[in-house]
Amino acid sequence: MEHIRCLIIGSGPAGYTAAIYAGRANLSPVLYEGIQPGGQLTITTEVENFPGYPEGVAGPDLMEDLRKQAERFGTNIRSAIAMQADLSASPYKITFDDGNTVEADTVIIATGATAKYLGLDDEKKYAGMGVSACATCDGFFYRKKTVAVVGGGDTACEEAIYLAGLASKVYLIVRKPFLRASKIMQERVADNPKIEVLFEHNAEGLFGENGVEGVHLVKRLGEPDEQHYDLAIDGFFLAIGHKPNSDIFKPWVKTDETGYIITEGDSPRTGIPGVFAAGDVADPHYRQAITAAGSGCKAAIEAERYLAARKL
Ligand code: NDP
């Protein structure tokens, strides 16, 4: 079985930053890219808040730069998905979907998070036929059409604004009477004439013959004046948050009720010696590219100290 000193699982800002630090520390890191090479930033448009880019940077370009920087310091990057983990004893064993199992002295879990859906049967029924959780991936299909975005956070606002650049009309379906998004995003939504915010609305289902033609809405759910009505739309976009990709590690590491890996204080230590968690998989609070990168850096420094202390 192949033996790895520093195994990094995931290729978002956390994984690549861990790889840069681990590579520079001569840990011969091996990084597995996972389901979405480059992570969530590869499906975003402009990143305006990553320090060092005064004019902003396209998400995919930022990830390509991080990848090159990780490769420059000798990271061995592979494209496979981790399917099973045995963290019962060191060296830890991870099995990938290409059939390989490797053993590692240190493991940095940087598997990120995946978009959530409402759980409606119609989301499955119309998957790829008008339902999407990624405006930048699928927005192109809705030029001059009418779409709805569900959610009231920064992601929902960002997606609504992006779609407003393509579609003729964007409804933002928000279950509360206010947006949770940051002030600047709220203002951009309010200032965009193509976006109409439907506060206190929930989506109950979708309809359409050969794809989404509309959404069943309920206004003021559970209130005496609750109202049900249908709205014609061509596309239905989910932007209601994310689920951490921690399933295969749950038998071994502590997680919260949503599945976020709980680390010790503000360190990336999981409680299992030599196993660290970095980025969105362990961050229910900030979930920013820069905080993910910072935690990836911490994880690699921890891995280096762990290996040095044991002369591994
Ligand atoms: P959030 O958790 O911030 O927001 C999720 C939104 O979806 C909330 O409005 C929530 O409603 C709503 N929601 C959740 N579940 C349901 C449901 N079942 N039905 C209807 N609505 C639902 O997630 P985001 O992905 O927007 O943001 C995550 C983090 O990433 C945040 O910290 C955000 O600031 C950050 N971010 C930053 C960006 C930037 O700085 N440019 C861009 C994108 C994200 P409710 O409010 O009622 O709970």
List the chain pLDDT tens, one digit each, 312 residues: 999 999 999 999 999 999 999 999 999 999 999 999 999 888 777 788 899 999 999 999 999 999 999 999 999 999 999 999 999 999 999 999 999 999 999 999 999 999 899 999 999 999 889 999 888 878 989 999 999 999 999 999 999 999 999 999 999 999 999 999 999 999 999 999 999 999 999 999 999 999 999 999 999 999 999 999 999 999 999 999 889 999 999 999 999 999 999 999 999 999 999 999 999 999 988 888 999 999 999 999 999 999 999 999
Report the nearest atom of ligand 1 relative to the CA of 119.
18
* Confidence at residue 256, expressed as pLDDT on a 0 to 100 scale: 97
* Confidence at residue 67, expressed as pLDDT on a 0 to 100 scale: 98
Q: What is the 3-state secondary structure (H, E, C) of 168-214?
A: CEEEEECCCCCCCCCHHHHHHHHHCCCEEEECCEEEEEEECCCCCCE
Atom 39 (ligand 1) nearest CA = 154
Report CA(42)–ligand 1 centroid distance (Å). 19
Ligand 1 near 218 CB (within 6 A) = no
* Confidence at residue 43, expressed as pLDDT on a 0 to 100 scale: 76
Ligand 1 near 175 CB (within 6 A) = yes
CA distance 299 to 21: 9
* Confidence at residue 180, expressed as pLDDT on a 0 to 100 scale: 97
* Confidence at residue 137, expressed as pLDDT on a 0 to 100 scale: 76
The residue whose CB lies within 8 Å of the most ligand 1 atoms, and thus the one to mutate among 118, 149, 180, 291, is 180
* Confidence at residue 236, expressed as pLDDT on a 0 to 100 scale: 98
Catalytic residue among 61, 65, 98, 137: 137
Q: Nearest Cα to 38, choosing from 77, 65, 10, 11?
A: 11
Report the nearest atom of ligand 1 relative to the CA of 242.
25
Give me the residue spans of the domains in the chain. 2-115+242-309, 121-238
Q: Do residues 33 and 78 lie in contact, with contact meaning Cβ atoms separated by under 8 Å?
A: yes
Asked about 137 being catalytic, the answer comes back as yes
The highest-level CATH class for domain 121-238 is alpha beta
* Confidence at residue 134, expressed as pLDDT on a 0 to 100 scale: 86
Spell 60-81 as b/e; 16+ CB within 10 A means b: bebbeebbebbbebebebeebb
- 56 phi-psi bin (left φ>0, alpha ψ -120 to 50, beta other): left
Q: What is the CA radius of gyration of the chain?
A: 21
Ligand 1 near 240 CB (within 6 A) = yes
Ligand 1 near 151 CB (within 6 A) = yes
* Confidence at residue 6, expressed as pLDDT on a 0 to 100 scale: 98
Please say whether the structural domain 2-115+242-309 has been given the CATH code 3.50.50.60: yes
Report CA(157)–ligand 1 centroid distance (Å). 9
Asked about 157 being catalytic, the answer comes back as no
CA distance 274 to 307: 8
Ligand 1 near 155 CB (within 6 A) = yes
Tokens at residue 25, please?
A: 């520390």
* Confidence at residue 287, expressed as pLDDT on a 0 to 100 scale: 84
Interaxial angle between packed helices 154-164 and 183-191, expressed in degrees from 0 to 180 and rounded to the nearest 10: 30
